[in-house]
Amino acid sequence: MDQLQKQVTEQTEETDLEPTNEAWESIKGAYDLQLHVAPYVIPRRIDDMHVAHEFLARGLSGFVLKSHYFMTAERAAVVTKAVPGIKAYGAVTLNHSMGGLNPVAVDLAGRAGARLVWMPTVDALNETAGRSPDVIHPPFWATFQRELSARGISPDPITVLNEKGEISASAKQCLEIIAQHNMVLCTGHLGRKEIFPLVDEAKKLGVQKIVVTHAEFPSQNLSQGEQYELAGRGAFIEHCFTTTYTNKAPWQLLFANVAAVGPEHVILSSDLGQPSNPPVSLGLAIYAQRFLDAGFPAANIQSMFVQNPAQLVEH
């Protein structure tokens, strides 16, 4: 990817962009694999039915409904039936509300048609934003997590490692079920010491589809070399719009990482749905515009928004 790395230009402006027609065209057929919309326990700017119509109007293919707290396969099935032309996919995140590393939750999600399984996010041992009041630019869910903790109903944080530093028995059982249902394993908010052995164990147990979740997010903050190595082990590297849009990571770092790893190994998602952030489809188009302005060809952008996500959810 040396040629692409040379083409990537420095971009420092932090103002919103008005997407061009080329940006909108480059995301036609896109799947957004990380979308946070209502109904939810945290305020959202739009619900799943309305975002489906928004996607349909913009020529986008579909999305994955992410919840930190609930399984979404049943919601997704209703949306897909109610809005012909849009494919909504369900998922489950293995936080405490789902029983943590709970193989029963994974199996039932798979039986219900969920496509993605996120390892712990808000309850991950590696994720401190919900437990520390000193975090700069805390995510929207941090206040909710702190409220649960203050009420004494927040169990110990979750790790996928046992006391020997190896993948735990419960995590292995979840991986086996993910493989059985051909679901997509997503690393959630695990840290680098967990991500690498998890990816290796998942491959060993037959998991075919792996996504390293929003690589520049502060609790992950994977280096360019780490992202490159994980892609070499068979994982897609996901980069979310909100991470850079809300100044949790620099744009130029994102562009350099994507160019080094290669767009063929990258997924671009929005992570949108929050009231203070842009509408989802507009956010995706702004994201595409950023990459266009940084020197990425439209074909690369289509790969990251359209073809690569489709490999995960359509097959």
In this predicted structure, the answer to whether residue 8 has a pLDDT above a threshold of 50 is no
Taking only the tens place, the pLDDT of each residue in 219-265 is 999 999 999 999 999 999 999 999 999 999 999 999 999 999 999 99
Report the mean per-residue pLDDT for the chain: 93
For residue 7, what pLDDT is reported? 45
User: What mean pLDDT do residues 171-191 have?
Assistant: 98
Q: What distance lies between CA 44 and its chain's CA centroid? A: 17
What percentage of the chain has pLDDT greater than the value 90? 84
For residue 243, what pLDDT is reported? 96
In this predicted structure, the answer to whether residue 130 has a pLDDT above a threshold of 90 is no
Does pTM top 0.85 for this prediction? yes
**12 or 16, higher pLDDT:** 16
| Token reading at 294 | 């940084």
Q: Answer for the pair 83, 124: CB distance below 8 angstroms, yes or no.
A: no
Instruction: Please give the Cα distance from 142 to 133 (Å, whole number).
Output: 9
Taking only the tens place, the pLDDT of each residue in 211-228 is 999 999 999 999 999 999
Instruction: Please give the Cα distance from 122 to 130 (Å, whole number).
Output: 7
For residue 257, what pLDDT is reported? 98
For domain 2-313, the CATH architecture is Alpha-Beta Barrel (3.20)
For residue 154, what pLDDT is reported? 81
CA dist 30 to 61, 136, 186, 278, 294, Å?
A: 5, 32, 19, 17, 20
| Token reading at 127 | 């994720």
For residue 108, what pLDDT is reported? 98
For residue 296, what pLDDT is reported? 98
For residue 37, what pLDDT is reported? 97
| Token reading at 72 | 């979404």
For residue 3, what pLDDT is reported? 53
